[in-house]
Structure 1
């Protein structure tokens, strides 16, 4: 097929192939055209459809590529595409969703008893709130805080620094930051030994701004004037402003430095590690209040495929570790039953059949061994099967399920398709609110923002309950049962443009109200 450079528009409104620039300039166009046979049925022939009223004459030196540049579809890959690429690249940084988060070895291994396969009812009801019971007249002796040398950890990986649960104790004098949640029940909370970061987001005042302000705690991340907010469309980082942020793979939330009273101390109870139970008393060097936690990923519903897949992989992890410790790489079902208290032996056998074989004869009769076509993975391969974030999301789901069962809802509904028939408690199930929020950040849904779903109860946080699209978003104070003539708004009971404006204004109001309420004077907070 001839290239676009070899095809030109000529006076007789025909396509001529194989005509060079020299031929046109020398006036030999007629002679060259006589050598070309045009067949409109030729599938290799490039035909440009023109309107009947188009000008009969066009410039002989105008190529097809230049004509297409003036049409609706631009396929020339010219400077217009360069502008598009530049704009795209400037916005790619704004996602900021791939910052490296490292976990301790305890978390990577999903070490027991910190990472359980199934939470008991008592654990689900007091999630991250373990009971602290001391008998009356008990004398507590505080141990001396151990000194941890910084040189010992220099140049080491996080998994080496925090290789065991003993390294995660605050009884060794290591530096720490205390975070106090403003929500009574945060959407998701990290588990033991999982890593998080404090990111100080700073937005440039202008494109020429080269400053990089640094706070005592956290990493500085500079946002350009066109970069998207790290809080999506539910938070703001104004030009010249620094917003410290609690960041991990589960949630993102603004944090606010607080003044620590000289009379406040942290009491630490440390158990395990072969040292029994010890108590320590430490001062509080840094205290922050965490604003509303914004979920980064959806929490799975109780009977979703994600739950089933994670459960199967968790079983594989346990089985493979038991096999690696056994001499003949074989197990009995009762050897893993203690790890899965919610499943009976029959259920465990059914799952073992997927990747193991029951030995009916031979020396291994009565045992289960891995299939001959498979190989036993190493420790790194075992850890990659299930990540700590997946277990944390499953635990959050179990907590929400237990809350609904205690409230008499039988575990709640899987999703919010039947939105109108659900109670407030069911709408606030974590797998529903997290999905609503993520859809709202992508423009696929709108949230109520205020009302019964507000965790603050006073208009200082967002309600993650999805608003009904029948009546549209209602601003605070606007009557919800007001009847509007749909003929005024093209079949809607609301004006879409006015609704969007009210929605954005309500987001900004809640964000700034929360910021004002949780912020303390700079002179006292950063002294």
Structure 2
């Protein structure tokens, strides 16, 4: 028998003294329960007393009321938004995640003469195209390739393997990859000693696809069916397709592998390395890729912008701090840094030094500049963190474009196409404008012309990064969905349909991407010449 504070349960088969047997036989349990008399002092009676947990009951009741309140008054669909965020996070993880890119020490240190503060006119006009001058009737002797043991580099970090400029050479027999850009003037190109990765993007055919293809070069990166394209909305990786990609912190571009001719070779001219004069080497081309149109990842700074001013000040600090580390008394003269800033005079350098240094007018250090007492001289790691090689590369890209516009008679170009109308095609194609246009287009904030004068190939095989109006400004090529007749009365007087314009825009992107892929992935390079 179990006794509760409020209820009593009695077994039907149990005999209770003093109770009418007829009531038991007739099964009248309600009447039986009312007439039962219990003696809690009876030694033959087993009693188990159970207390109710009112705190648990109260907490459960409060939780139920809160849940009902939320279901009744929650009209924001928070649960649906949470699911959307989880889905978006998975897509960002697979395509836009920043991978680590390692650079050689020469790039991290911004080592001179490979990284200059200011490019000269001749250097800007022949950027990444050094002249190879060979005098007539000159006999060239090819030297034997140096041998570099792989065991020597095994288990070492990139900074240790490429510790000096002598390690960045094609004269030691190491494996090389030759990249040939399809654009005559790519928007952004990496500088000396800067690293890049070859990523082989593979999209699963289905969620159950466990295929992981292996290629001779590059890292395999798996895309799920719902993941975005690594080229944003300007490129595609179809299910079951492998797209090799050039990946770094500045650009992203598709790669197309080719087999070079057996008669082709690479001639290398080497200087320095402890040997006087120049040496020449001949090498085979083991790996040859054609680089598709480059997509900028970050904006190129415009002239006279804050980014240019900040980078210029930090570059001055880097040079001054390194000179201070080499000096005995941690002091410098203005003439000691003037060679690094050929475009500025001593008066301009003094004005910039006043921001973080003090001129000594008396004492043993009279006539010298020393760091302010409130500041400390940073170590080498702190100096490298002031300016990274990517920022210098963007500044050089800006300087090269400025020089080109000056040579064309535009006086350095305009900074923003939103504030100036009637710009020439050369000004619209300035890298600080096109890079901004492309990034805004990937975020859905702008639309591009896609074809026309801004096409770098001139044959409809590349994207034009010139911006156009999103309110009917995009005009699709002939024969597309946008050529369908539109009833303006159904559009409220507008001359374009938003849905048709977006569909035509996406069709044109896909057409250009497929045309470029078909042209650059030809069986041999001769097919595209």
The two structures share one fold, judged by TM-score above 0.5: yes
| Higher Rg of the two aligned structures | 2
Give the match for residue 36 of structure 2: none
* 1:191 aligned residue: 191
Give the distance between the partners of 1:486 and 1:469, measured in 2 at CA. Answer: 18
User: CA 1:141–1:207 in structure 2 vs 1: closer, same or farther (change >3 Å)?
Assistant: same
Shift in alpha-carbon separation, 1:272–1:63, aligned structure 2, 3 A: same
Whether 1:259 aligns to 2:259 is yes
Matches within 5 A, 1:151-190: 151-190=151-190
Match of residue 16 from structure 1? none
Alignment of 1:349-428 (within 5 A): 349-418=350-419, 420-428=421-429
Q: CA deviation at 1:112?
A: 0.5
Name the SS for the 1:255 alignment partner: strand
Structure-to-structure mapping, 1:442-481, within 5 angstroms? 442-469=443-470, 471-477=472-478
Task: Write out per-residue CA displacement over residues 353-412 of structure 1, whole angstroms, 9 at most, x where no aligned residue.
Answer: 010000001000000000000010111111111100000000000011111111111001
Aligned to 1:40: none
Matches within 5 A, 1:68-467: 68-73=70-75, 83-84=83-84, 86-276=86-276, 277-418=278-419, 420-467=421-468
> Unpaired runs of 5+ in structure 1?
1-18, 30-59
For residues 412 and 65 of structure 1, what CA distance do their matches in structure 2 show?
62
SS in 1 for 2:193: coil
Q: Deviations over 1:74-131 (max 9, x none)?
A: 58x76x5763454233223134341110000010010010000000111111110011
CA RMSD of aligned residues (A): 2.7
What pairs with 1:23-62 in structure 2 (closer than 5 Å)? none
Q: Report the secondary structure of 1:279's partner residue.
A: strand
Aligned length: 471
TM-score (norm 2): 0.84
- Is contact 1:68–1:74 with CA below 8 Å preserved after alignment? no
Partners of 1:404 and 1:81 lie apart in 2 by 48
Question: SS of 1:420's equivalent?
Answer: coil
Please give the secondary structure, in 2, of the residue aligned with 1:288.
Answer: strand
Distance 1:490 1:357 in 2: 68
1-structure distance, mates of 2:363, 2:63: 87
Change over 3 Å in CA distance of 1:149–1:471 after alignment to 2: same
CA offsets 1:172-193 (integer angstroms, 9 cap, x no match): 0000100000000001000011
List runs of 5+ in structure 2 lacking aligned partners.
1-53
CA contact (8 A) 1:427 1:433 kept: yes
Aligned equivalents of 2:510 and 2:97: distance in 1? 23
Give the Cα separation in 2 of the matches to 1:341 and 1:290. Answer: 35
Are residues 1:494 and 2:489 paired?
A: no
- Does the CA-based 8 Å contact 1:146-1:172 persist in structure 2? yes
Q: Does 1:515 align with 2:517?
A: yes
Q: How far apart in 1 are the matches of 2:186 and 2:304?
A: 22
Contact persistence 1:472–1:494 (CA under 8 A) = no
- Residue pair 1:472, 1:499 contacting (<8 A) in 2 also: no
Question: Contact conserved, 2:446 with 2:469, CA < 8 A, in 1?
Answer: no
Task: Work out the CA distance in 2 between the residues paired with 1:485 and 1:414.
Answer: 40
Distance 1:84 1:344, change over 3 A: same
Q: What is the CA-CA distance between 1:319 and the residue it aligns to?
A: 0.2
Q: Structure 1 residues 210, 106: CA separation in 2 closer, same or farther (over 3 Å shift)? A: same
How far the C-alpha of 1:477 sits from its partner, in A, is 3.2
Cα deviation, 1:146-196, whole Å, max 9, x if unaligned, reads 110000001111011001111011000000100000000001000011000
The separation in 2 between residues aligned to 1:420 and 1:302, in whole angstroms, is 18
Cα shift readout 1:229-274 (whole Å, capped 9, x = no counterpart) = 1000000001110000001000000000011111000000011222
